[in-house]
C-alpha cells in the first residue's frame, strides 16, 4: 500500500494522541464517557483555534510571538464590549483583523523580521487588553457560552468543534486555491510572484485569516471561562507554536498540516490531564509536559527516517 507523505506526516501526531488517550482511559476508566471526554478536551477548542492561527502565519515562513496577548485581548473584548454593545465589539474585531493584515503588509514590504514586529505588537495588544479590562472580570456573551457548553447527542461538543475546525481549515489550506498560494509563498515566494500573483496580497490575507481564527479562539475561551482577564491566554504563544510542530508542521517551507495542528493542540491539552491523573506532584507537571513534547518529537524523527529509507529503496 502506498501512503502519501502527507498521510505519514499525520500518523505520528494521531498515534501519540491515541496512546495518551489510551493511557488516560486505563488510569481513569470513568473518563471514557460523554462527560469525561468533554472535560478532558474542553479547553482544547480555544487552543486548537489559536494553533490554527499560528499555523497560518507559519505557512508563510513567519512566526507570531503576539498570539498569546492577542487572544487575551480578544477574550477581554468578548467579555466586555462584545457583550454590552455587540456592534462596537464586531467593529473592534474587524479593526483587529485589519491590524493583522497591516502587520503582514508591513513585514513584507519592509522585509522586517516577523518575530520582532509581533514582539512589539504583543506589547500593544497587552496594553489594549489592560485598558479594556483593568482587573479580571467581564461576562461571556450568552451565545458564546451556549455554543461552548452545548451538548450535542452522542459526541461531546469539544470533539465536534475540533473535527469541524480541522475540516474547515483543511479545506481552506489544503484544497482551496488560496491555500495553495499561501503554502507556495512559504515554499518559494519568488516563484509565486513570477507566476503573476501578488505576494503582498497573499501575505495580508494570510495574516487577516490568522487574526480571524485568533479572535475565534478568544471568544471560545471566554465562552468556557465565563470571564476574562488581560493575562488569560499568555501561554498560548508557546502552546500554539508547539502544537503546530507536534502536528507535523515546519517552521519554513510552507509545510503545514491543519488536521495535524488540531491533533497537536488536543495532544497538548490531554498531556496536562494525563499528568494530573498520574498524580505527579505539581512541581514536576510543567517538566513532564516538556518531556512529553520531547518524546513525541523523537518519535517523529524515527518515523521521518523510516520514510526517507523507503524513498531510497
Partner 1 sequence: MTIQKFITEKPWIWSFSATITVWIITVLFTGGASSFGLSQAALTFAAFSVIVGIGQMFVITLGPGNVDLSVPATMTLSGTLALKLMDVQDGMIIVGLLASIGVGLVIGLGNYILIKLLRIPPIIATLSMSFIVQSVAIWSNRGLRIKPPETLASFTTSGLFGIPNIALVALVLSAIAWVLLEKSIYGRWISAIGQSRFAARMAGIPVDGTRLVTYMLCAVLASVCGYLLASFSGGAALNMGSEYLLMSIAVVVIGGTAVAGGNSNIPGIWGASLFMFLVVSMLNTYGFGAGIRLMLTGFIIIAVILLAGGKRSSR
| Positions 226 through 255 that interact with partner 1 (CB under 8 A) | 238, 241-242, 245, 250-252
Q: Are 267 and 23 in contact (CB under 8 A)?
A: no
Minimum distance of partner 1 from residue 206's CB (angstroms): 19
Q: Are 89 and 144 in contact (CB under 8 A)?
A: no
Q: Among 32, 291, 306, 310, which residue interacts with partner 1 (rule: CB under 8 A)?
A: 291
Q: Does 137 bind partner 1 (CB under 8 A)?
A: no
Nearer Cβ to partner 1, position 61 or 227?
61
User: Cα(first)–Cα(last) distance of the chain, in Å?
Assistant: 15
CA nearest neighbour of 144 among 91, 233, 86, 221? 221
Nearer Cβ to partner 1, position 86 or 287?
287
| Positions 94 through 113 that interact with partner 1 (CB under 8 A) | 106, 109-113
Q: Among 65, 74, 219, 263, which residue interacts with partner 1 (rule: CB under 8 A)?
A: 65
Nearer Cβ to partner 1, position 241 or 256?
241
Percent helix, percent strand, percent coil in the chain, to nearest 5:
80, 0, 20
DSSP string for 60-105: TT---TTHHHHHHHHHHHHHTHHHH-HHHHHHHHHHHHHHHHHHHH
Q: Does 309 bind partner 1 (CB under 8 A)?
A: no
**Within 10 Å of residue 24's Cβ, how many Cβ atoms?**
22
Q: Among 18, 198, 290, 306, which residue interacts with partner 1 (rule: CB under 8 A)?
A: 290
Nearer Cβ to partner 1, position 172 or 299?
299
Give strand pairing partners of 137: 228
| Positions 189 through 208 that interact with partner 1 (CB under 8 A) | none
Q: Does 143 bind partner 1 (CB under 8 A)?
A: no
Minimum distance of partner 1 from residue 159's CB (angstroms): 27
Nearer Cβ to partner 1, position 172 or 303?
303
Q: How far apart are CA 184 and CA 7, in angstroms?
A: 19
Give strand pairing partners of 228: 137
Contacts with partner 1, residue ranges (CB under 8 A): 63, 65, 106, 109-113, 115-117, 119-131, 134, 238, 241-242, 245, 250-252, 281, 283-291, 293-294, 297-298, 301
Amino acid at each position: 500500500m502506498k501512503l502519501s507523505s502527507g498521510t505519514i506526516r499525520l500518523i505520528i501526531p494521531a498515534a501519540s494522541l491515541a496512546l495518551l488517550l489510551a493511557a488516560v482511559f486505563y488510569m481513569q476508566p470513568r473518563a471514557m464517557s460523554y462527560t469525561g471526554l468533554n472535560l478532558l478536551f474542553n479547553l482544547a477548542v480555544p487552543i486548537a483555534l489559536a494553533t490554527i492561527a499560528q499555523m497560518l502565519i507559519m505557512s508563510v515562513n513567519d512566526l507570531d510571538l503576539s498570539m498569546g496577548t492577542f487572544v487575551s485581548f480578544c477574550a477581554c473584548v468578548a467579555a466586555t464590549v462584545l457583550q454590552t454593545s455587540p456592534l462596537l465589539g464586531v467593529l473592534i474585531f474587524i479593526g483587529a483583523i485589519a491590524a493583522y493584515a497591516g502587520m503582514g503588509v508591513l513585514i513584507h514590504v519592509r522585509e522586517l523580521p516577523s518575530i520582532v514586529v509581533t514582539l512589539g505588537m504583543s506589547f500593544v495588544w497587552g496594553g489594549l487588553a489592560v485598558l479594556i479590562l483593568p482587573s479580571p472580570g467581564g461576562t461571556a456573551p450568552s451565545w458564546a457560552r451556549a455554543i461552548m457548553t452545548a451538548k450535542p447527542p452522542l459526541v461531546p461538543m469539544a470533539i465536534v468543534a475540533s473535527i469541524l475546525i480541522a475540516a474547515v481549515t483543511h479545506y481552506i489550506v489544503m484544497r482551496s486555491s488560496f491555500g495553495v498560494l499561501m503554502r507556495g509563498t512559504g515554499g518559494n515566494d519568488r516563484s509565486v510572484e513570477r507566476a503573476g500573483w501578488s505576494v503582498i496580497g497573499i501575505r495580508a490575507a494570510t495574516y487577516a485569516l490568522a487574526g480571524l481564527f485568533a479572535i475565534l479562539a478568544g471568544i471560545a475561551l471566554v465562552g468556557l471561562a465565563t470571564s476574562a482577564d488581560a493575562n488569560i491566554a499568555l501561554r498560548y504563544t508557546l502552546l500554539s507554536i508547539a502544537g503546530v510542530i507536534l502536528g507535523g508542521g515546519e517552521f519554513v517551507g510552507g509545510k503545514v498540516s491543519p488536521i495535524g495542528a488540531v491533533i497537536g493542540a488536543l495532544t497538548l491539552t490531554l498531556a496536562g490531564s494525563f499528568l494530573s491523573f498520574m498524580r505527579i506532584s505539581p512541581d514536576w507537571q510543567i517538566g513532564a509536559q516538556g518531556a512529553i513534547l520531547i518524546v513525541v518529537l523523537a518519535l517523529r524523527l524515527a518515523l521521518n527516517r523510516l520514510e526517507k529509507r523507503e524513498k531510497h529503496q
